[in-house]
Amino acid sequence: MDIKGKRALVIGGTSGIGLAAARMLVEKGAEVIAMSRSESNRATAEAVLGEEASIRQLDSLDREAMAALFAELAPFDILVNAATGGERATGPFMQMDLDGFTGSFRKLWGYVNSVRLAGEHLSDHGCIVLVSGSPARKCQPGMSAISTVGNAVEGFSRAIAAEIAPKRLNVVSPGTIDTPMFPVEGEAREAFFERAGASALLNRVGSADEVAAGIIFAIENDYVTGTTIDVDGGALLP
């Protein structure tokens, strides 16, 4: 796909990986609409994306609002959904609040909504990219909810890719990435990422730009669908 001139919707596009992907799409000449549930990152996103992109508020769990917005913006060629869905439960499963575990699946339901409701408006050779995570296939202690949701996202994409072809659907799976999702600051933040990066073969954590580059690859390569692209510094390997 030649991205120049294409209309691209980026859910979760005002922060972290989504914002990096939106910026790269703008740089490649796409007409970008970045969407986010919260307005808190609007000023930062506007400064990063400039006048070549617009920003709209959207809760990916509000199907009615999503359907209306997609119809308004139709037709479009690219949909990226990098929204986290909200808080993610962590900790030992046998001590975990089960409401927290099930609440982690808001990410999956947001993805399901976006793929289903975008389908009728996506161009015939359009592309959808979702974001999973390395815990889906290598779960560390305390990450059971995140791992299970990631597995569901990847399984969902493989199932639906066969139904929507020649439209394409792929997943990009990051390892530990330095983004605003991690609220800890200062020395504690540096120590956390140093420990987390030690589990990857490249001995560091990744950047939002490195994951966004994987998203761009999934968009541009017309012969890639129904697959998961790992951007994890080798974290899945022994």
Q: Is residue 237 part of a domain?
A: no
Mean predicted confidence (pLDDT) in 221-235: 96
* pTM exceeds cut of 0.85: yes
pLDDT of residue 71: 98
Q: What is the pLDDT of residues 118-167, one digit of tens each?
A: 999 999 999 999 999 999 999 989 999 999 999 999 999 999 999 999 99
Domain count for the chain, please give it: 1
Q: Is residue 57 part of a domain?
A: yes
pLDDT of residue 183: 64
For residue 182, is pLDDT > 90?
Answer: no
Q: What is the CATH number of the domain that holds 155?
A: 3.40.50.720
Can you give the C-alpha Rg of the chain in angstroms? 17
**What is the extent of the structural domain holding 18?**
7-231
Q: Is residue 44 part of a domain?
A: yes
Q: Is residue 236 part of a domain?
A: no
From first CA to last CA, the distance across the chain in angstroms is 35
Q: Is residue 91 part of a domain?
A: yes
Cα-based distances in Å from 112 to 53, 83, 107, 167, 189: 25, 12, 9, 16, 33
Q: Is residue 67 part of a domain?
A: yes
The residue written with tokens 């037709």 in the block is: 75
Q: Is residue 217 part of a domain?
A: yes
Q: Is residue 2 part of a domain?
A: no
